[in-house]
Amino acid sequence: MSAPVIEIRGVTKAFGDLEVLKGVDLEVAEHEAVALIGASGSGKSTLLRCIDLLEDIDDGDIFLDSEVITDPSVDTVGVRRKLGVVFQAYNLFPHLNVIDNVTLGLVRAGDTNREEAEAQALKVLARFGLEGRERERPDNLSGGQQQRVAIARAFAARPRAMLLDEVTSALDPELVGEVLRAVRDLRSEGVTMLLATHEMGFAKEVADRVGFLHEGRLLEIGPPAQLLEDPQEPETKKFLRRLLEAGRA
Amino acid sequence: MAERGSGRPDPGVAPAATTARDRRLEREAVRRQRARRGATIAAVSTIVVLGGFTALILTSPGWDEVQRTFFSPEDFAEVFPEVLEAFWLDIRVFMVVEVVVLVLGLVVAIARLAKAPALFPVRMLAVVYTDVFRGVPTILLIYLIGFGIPALDLEGLPTEPVVLGGIALALSYGAYVAEVYRAGLRSIHPGQREAGLSIGLTESQAMRHVVLPQAVRRVGPPLLNDFIALQKDVALISVLGVAGEAFRVAQIEAQSTFNYTPLLAAALLYLCITIPMARLLDWWDSPERARG
């Protein structure tokens, strides 16, 4: 088996006295999708932010294609160009129209010229069902459309891996489906991804492995069927039972 | 609308539709009547208030004297062309200072928000600058720079009163405008910078292409507000004896004739600039525009 795309070794991260990650180990192989589940505050988002170097880790190492990316000497911009991040709150650029949201990174960060970038952006936007909306401002789109633009923006530069941070949590229930369809579409192409999610059914369907984060530790990880239906750890069982009671699983 | 009638038994579909239509017409008629009454009340009260106010002033014992010294039509006609010509200098000073202020304020604001440890002295300097120049009265600054710099007797420094006055204004307003920019930059959600970084932009690219354009849009109205103030404060450079400045010209006229009408002519010219700017500000700030 080839080396993992993302490798996380003993990562810890604290905000002041609050330890959010207490030593996490995780690997994401090429073409693999790993879903992280866990309660709010369990460290899912922080872990994703650490991988994209939006947070400095306190201890441990993170590797991207076997190269350490968490040393202070590393070119952070170069690392981020190889990763595509989708945020929970979309974080689209409201002053730019849809296509410029996508091309900004291609033109400024990559070495793509304007025309090439536009062509590339049109293609990726069409792929996520956004043809005809290219010149609209993000404010004029529904939440589901905005999140699909955000996915297109993150994917346009063909990153080595996608990091999806609860991409459906800010959406009205009827809009969740279209965003999940976009993620499924990436999945069918074999895009390597690490996603934090609250959608258990989706995690089961789309992920090769599901990991359960609890209070900053990855308590267990395994194939979805095993982790979601036959969890070994009492905390995992408790978490899944609570979800079941809330009607979310 | 149709649902309203469904509670009671309807004889048929057609009559129900007619009554719904009638009700709508009735409502519109009442609304029109109310609007008419509102307009009438507004007009009458305006006439009463303004008329009363005007009558009070015109019937005051000193009115004739006030009219002679402030509102003399002959004096006005005589000095207006001269004051108008002088006002052109005010406008030029204003425009040059405005551009300098926009750039200076932005540089200072960004310097203040710079996080790199190596930039600590720059940050310090920016803080001291805004604190000092915002805290000193503009007129004092004009005196200090206008008379202090030439007194240094150094080669290469400007000695023209109008240039020195402009520098003082730019330094004073630059400090205000820097704070306006800074508030704007800080009001942009940190998620915007992070989204910029995540697509592979550098810190300075994220500032330039993501944060700054949004911040500038947001601070347009308060910036315009400062420019209205700046436009008026150009008159302050008259204390340096700037020849040909509108307020200065009006003042000289007023002192030679013991008539203040020239000052009123200058005031009118300032209003010609500041009122359109105020309307522009209103338009910029209006909720309708924000949706666009």
Distance from CA of A158 to the nearest CA of B (A): 11
| pLDDT mean over A198-218 | 91
Whether residue B191 lies inside any domain: the answer is yes
Whether residue B211 lies inside any domain: the answer is yes
Chain A residue closest in CA terms to B290:
A139
Whether residue B230 lies inside any domain: the answer is yes
Task: Look at residue B1 in the predicted model and tell me its pLDDT.
Answer: 43
- State the Cα–Cα distance between residues A180 and A177, nearest whole angstrom: 5
- The CATH number assigned to the domain holding B251 equals 1.10.3720.10
* Domains: count for chain B: 1
Check: CB of residue A127 under 8 Å from CB of residue A81.
no
SS (H, E, C) A49-111: HHHCCCCCCCEEEEEECCEECCCCCCCHHHHHHCEEEECCCCCCCCCCCHHHHHHHHHHHCCC
Whether residue B182 lies inside any domain: the answer is yes
Closest CB to A93: pick one of B197, B200, B210.
Answer: B210
Helix and strand element counts for chain B (H, E)? 13, 0
pLDDT tens for each residue of B245-291? 888 888 888 888 888 888 888 888 888 888 898 888 888 777 666 55
Task: Look at residue A212 in the predicted model and tell me its pLDDT.
Answer: 95
Whether residue B271 lies inside any domain: the answer is yes
Chain A residue closest in CA terms to B198:
A80
Q: Is A153 on the interface with B (CB under 8 A)?
A: yes
Task: Look at residue B32 in the predicted model and tell me its pLDDT.
Answer: 94
Q: Is A16 helix (H, G, I), strand (E, B) or coil?
A: coil
List of residues 6+ apart from B102 with CB closer than 8 A: B177, B223
Q: Is A160 on the interface with B (CB under 8 A)?
A: no
Whether residue B94 lies inside any domain: the answer is yes
Distance from CA of A155 to the nearest CA of B (A): 9
Answer yes or no: is pLDDT of A61 > 90.
yes
pLDDT tens for each residue of B71-88? 888 888 888 888 888 889
Sign of CA dihedral B270, B273, B275, B281: negative
Average pLDDT, chain B: 87
Q: How confident is the model at residue B5 (pLDDT cuts 50, 70, 90)?
A: very low
Domain that holds residue B273: 73-285
pTM of this prediction? 0.80
Q: How confident is the model at residue B3 (pLDDT cuts 50, 70, 90)?
A: very low
Least confident window among A24-28, A90-94, B51-55, B64-68 = B64-68
Whether residue B109 lies inside any domain: the answer is yes
Chain B residue closest in CA terms to A151:
B199
Q: What is the ipTM of this complex?
A: 0.93
Q: How confident is the model at residue B176 (pLDDT cuts 50, 70, 90)?
A: very high
Closest Cα to residue B162, out of B236, B263, B251, B98? Answer: B236
Q: Is A111 on the interface with B (CB under 8 A)?
A: no
Whether residue B61 lies inside any domain: the answer is no
